[in-house]
Amino acid sequence: MDGHVVTSLMSTRTRRQFLMPMALWPAAVLAAPGEIWSLDDLIRSGEALAKEHLDPKALKALQDGSDPAVTDRLLRDLQQRFQGEYVVDVARMREAAQALLPVLEQLPATRSYAGWLRPRMDYFEVADQLEVQIPPPRPGQAPPPRTNPSAAQERRAWEIQVGRTPPPKGAATWVPRLKPVFRAQRVPQELVWVAEVESSFNSEARSPAGAVGLYQLMPSTAQSLGLKLAPKDERLAGERNARAAAGYLNSLYARFKDWRLALAAYNGGQGRVGGLLKSRSARTFDEIAAHLPAETQMYVPKVEAVVQRREGRALSRLPAAG
């Protein structure tokens, strides 16, 4: 969803402190298991809970990078590589993400953040595979200018990755419930599987930037689609989240007349996609893919591979939105 990449809206102070306090949260965090904590809440920290409850290996991995300068660099790199130009740069954050995930999953107050990170872990793996596929320069020759893998290369990589990944546990429950919602919004029902890519069908998933729910809707987008954020956040209601997401996909398809472009706009922003199409006199996703943020370059072929694997339907063969 546009704007939902990790740290995209974080202040400098929050970026610097986000990783380090994961190993330092106070025991009070466990006092209210049903409560959702903001990043500012999490930054109020102490050492007792980490020593008593966290997996030692995960704790050690985070402590190794607990120097504020190191933490700031890790977070800056993560932001730059998801939002930056080059897909292969994402692979360099793999170990940091692997260390962070089990910490998030162990604390009740932060499991919603783990729900956001877990479906993105394979981005690091695929980025690593794509880096291997790019041939090194020949001996005695200068390295060629940096380039991104082609959209076709990324589609092949995601076909392999998704082909060996079972559906998330929540899919069996959610997919039958959500397909009628998508049909009612005149969007191909196969696109319910966007939730696998966004949240692994975890309706409580929450990104550090504020996106929430099965389809990771940002607050402003959710409100523009008719959802209320208070007194209860309607993004946490699976069917309402899905209805809003399907309606948004419908409007994006109406603008771009192509599902790859609509999905790129869903993830990277319709202004960015529209601007690239215009500035490059392009008409297809493949023509602009290499110039989109790294996450968006991978997001679209991942959705495509998921739909093909789970439904046996090619994205290009899906009907138009109504």
Say if residues 150 and 291 touch (Cβ distance below 8 Å): no
- Is 57 in the same domain as 187? no
Residues forming a β-bridge with 212: 206, 217
What's the CATH number where 209 sits? 1.10.530.10
Q: Of all residues in the chain, what percent carry a pLDDT higher than 90?
A: 54
- The pLDDT tens digits for 11-64 are 333 333 344 344 333 333 333 444 444 444 433 333 333 333 334 444 454 445
- Is 117 in the same domain as 180? no
- Is 124 in the same domain as 189? no
Name the packing angle between helices 294-311 and 151-163 (round to 10°): 50
165 domain residue, yes or no: no
- Is 313 in the same domain as 175? yes
Say if residues 287 and 152 touch (Cβ distance below 8 Å): no
- Is 188 in the same domain as 87? no
Could you tell me which of 73, 105, 86, 39 has the C-alpha nearest to residue 294?
Answer: 86
pTM over 0.75: yes
Residues 6+ apart with CB under 8 A from 308: 159, 162, 314, 315
Structural domain range at position 211: 171-317
Q: What is the CA radius of gyration of the chain?
A: 20
145 domain residue, yes or no: no
Active site residues: 198
- Is 206 in the same domain as 127? no
- The pLDDT tens digits for 140-183 are 777 777 788 999 999 999 999 999 999 999 999 999 999 999 99
Say if residues 181 and 239 touch (Cβ distance below 8 Å): yes
Neighbours of 18 (CB within 10 A): 23
Residue with tokens 């120097």: 67
Residues 6+ apart with CB under 8 A from 138: none
150 domain residue, yes or no: no
* Domain termination site, one of 116, 133, 150: 133
Could you tell me which of 29, 39, 14, 19 has the C-alpha nearest to residue 210?
Answer: 39
CA angle, 212 as apex, 8 and 70 as ends, to 5°?
Answer: 35
* Domain termination site, one of 133, 163, 192: 133
Judged by average pLDDT, the poorest of 74-83, 194-203, 216-225, 283-292 is 74-83
Tally of domains within the chain = 2
- Is 214 in the same domain as 120? no
